[in-house]
Every structure is written in C-alpha cells, then in structure tokens.
C-alpha cells in the first residue's frame, strides 16, 4: 500500500520536526531573528514527547 503524505507508520515517526514560528515584534525590537518552537503541535499536544523518546 503506498504511503500517503503526512501519515506516519508509528508514533515515534511523528516526534520531532516541531515547526518554528517567527516572533516578528521581538525580532524588530532586538534586531535579531527570534523564533519560537510550536511545541503545542507535537503529537498529543505534549511538550514531554521529545523527552520520552530520548
């Protein structure tokens, strides 16, 4: 069966690659590019996913 885009074979395959979100106003104030990790987009919505994998 072909593997569909975005579908993982298991939970561990979905952990990681957390999206980064540019924080524009803070970047402008500091003169640096400031990024935040969107941990709420982890499978299950938990920030503990990565620690449990390691």
Decide if 48 is catalytic.
Answer: yes
What's the mean per-residue pLDDT of the chain?
75
- Say which residues have a Cβ less than 8 Å from residue 9's Cβ, sequence separation at least 6: 3
Q: What is the pLDDT of residue 39?
A: 77
Contact 46, 18 (CB under 8 A): no
pLDDT number for residue 48: 64
- Predicted confidence band of residue 1 (pLDDT cuts 50, 70, 90): very low
Separation CA 18–CA 42 (nearest Å): 7
Spell out the domain ranges in the chain.
Answer: 12-53
pLDDT tens digits for range 35-44: 988 877 766 6
Q: For residue 11, what are the CA distances in angstroms to 15, 25, 31, 51, 52?
A: 7, 35, 38, 14, 12
Catalytic site residue from 24, 48, 52, 53: 48
**pTM, two decimal places:** 0.52
Region 19-42: mean pLDDT is: 89
């Amino acid at each position: 069966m072909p593997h569909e885009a975005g579908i993982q074979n298991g939970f561990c395959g979905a952990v990681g690659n957390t999206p980064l979100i540019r924080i524009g106003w803070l970047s402008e104030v500091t003169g640096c590019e400031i990024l935040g990790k969107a941990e709420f987009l982890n499978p299950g919505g938990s920030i503990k996913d990565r620690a449990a994998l390691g």
